[in-house]
Structure 1
């Protein structure tokens, strides 16, 4: 059980997601030691298993690993896009940190998402409604968080677009007509519209040109410093992790193989897989 006196924001214990029909050996027979997350007995896929992590207010936590390592699954479970197979998660700003948010009703999960969390997806189409204008997308998030003053919503949308360097004259344009980099900025504006204490970023620079990547990352870092928002940043790219994060979790085959301060992991990696990742960056 969680210690309520601790200054944590999010605490996760034993988080597991398995696709298919697992048996009692599914977790035991998969993972880095076996080089696979597919159970040889049942063919069930162990997307992630036994994930334990803590996040503190204003901290930026990186989750790094190759494709299929389970890193995106972790944030999608915590944002309720997916349902967990096992595990618990406590959010200090909900129910005094004493309620397992993974077991809450759909209605309560919607409340947590709309009021306490934001998500920026790799593909802007997953986070934006292209039938709405850029301002309309921000309005959607604010309305879901209980803000109904039309004048204030438009004011807030203008403020956010300025903050994320999207031309305010594009407020009433659909994001479908924007470049990939600008779509990501609108998605970030939408995600932070309700001032959530926690923001998830899932491979937000993948697919963007290198020059655009740098601008988006710089903007994210500036916003984090200005707003003091806690973030979980998922990436396969260690240069993104190095630029944005305080601590890092390294995942392989659905398991955490190493975790620690980002500088420490990059300068003195302990696990052979982390050493491989770091050497590929040099």
Structure 2
């Protein structure tokens, strides 16, 4: 992981998502100090507000917090699954980081998403087409990025399935016939099909058996080390954050309450909410 002030891969500034009709007081009347993300004046919901951070090439950043803290909203905004209310984000491999990607046209967002990013969702159904075969799902990602060579696509699909420990013999089976852990591994294969510099992982082990969780986490760690992909890992589970991440952001009620090196946050958390999260793990 290489890191200096100018070497960022992703820069996010004041990212905000509000549901409903906010007024000028909405952001100021919500957040951790009010222990609520619902505006008392308008009932609008501040899913996240003023989220700012840099991510460096090859770095793994964790976003941790309880359900409703806004952590999944952040990655869904950055992957264009949702429209922002405010804020900006720049990705170095896109226009050399000179254009706010969140303000681009839908066509340009599709290009960024298909070529420069991957996403692994909590529920494989959100990331896979269950009407396609496992190989077909990987092909879909490659075709959207402009690769139409059938032989190359099948070769890449079998390489990826091999890498993620899905039997290549099952390349023409549908994910509906796979176990939850295997569906997640196919989803990871699809997400990394185009060698994206940035991968989002949203609660990827939630709902899996403990033994399967461990295998999926080992796989993610190995892929990160082999491919050097920068990752943003969203989880409510600090043991996942501890295993995978270099730095961590702690969120509560849609705001960042603490950020720092993962080891430092787990060993010496400063914010009372972080302390509560860490003590619940011990």
Q: Aligned-pair distance for 1:242?
A: 0.1
Partner of 1:89: 89
Whole-Å separation in 1 of the counterparts to 2:242 and 2:90: 27
Report the aligned-residue RMSD.
Answer: 0.9
Whole-Å separation in 2 of the counterparts to 1:268 and 1:74: 25
Question: Partner of 1:33: helix, strand, or coil?
Answer: helix
Partner of 1:14: 14
Whole-Å separation in 1 of the counterparts to 2:155 and 2:96: 32
Whole-Å separation in 2 of the counterparts to 1:191 and 1:97: 22
Whole-Å separation in 2 of the counterparts to 1:95 and 1:227: 23
Whole-Å separation in 1 of the counterparts to 2:90 and 2:160: 29
Whole-Å separation in 1 of the counterparts to 2:210 and 2:19: 35
Partner of 2:63: 63
Whole-Å separation in 1 of the counterparts to 2:275 and 2:42: 32
Whole-Å separation in 1 of the counterparts to 2:30 and 2:238: 25
Structure 2 residue runs of 5 or longer lacking an equivalent are: none
Partner of 1:261: 261
Q: Aligned-pair distance for 1:5?
A: 7.6
Partner of 2:201: 201
Judged with a 3 Å threshold, the aligned counterparts in structure 2 of structure 1 residues 214 and 5 are, in CA distance, closer, same or farther, namely closer
Tell me the TM-score normalised to structure 1 length. 0.98
Question: Partner of 1:153: helix, strand, or coil?
Answer: helix
Q: Aligned-pair distance for 1:96?
A: 1.1
Whole-Å separation in 2 of the counterparts to 1:94 and 1:248: 25
For 1:27-42, list aligned pairs within 5 A. 27-42=27-42
Partner of 2:132: 132
Q: Aligned-pair distance for 1:230?
A: 0.2
Partner of 1:117: 117
Partner of 2:179: 179
Whole-Å separation in 1 of the counterparts to 2:115 and 2:173: 26
Partner of 1:233: 233
What is the number of equivalent residue pairs in this alignment? 279
Structure 1 residue runs of 5 or longer lacking an equivalent are: none
Q: What does the per-residue CA deviation read over 1:138-191, in whole Å, with 9 as the maximum and x for residues that have no partner?
A: 000000011111000000000000000001111000000000000000000000
Question: Partner of 2:34: helix, strand, or coil?
Answer: coil
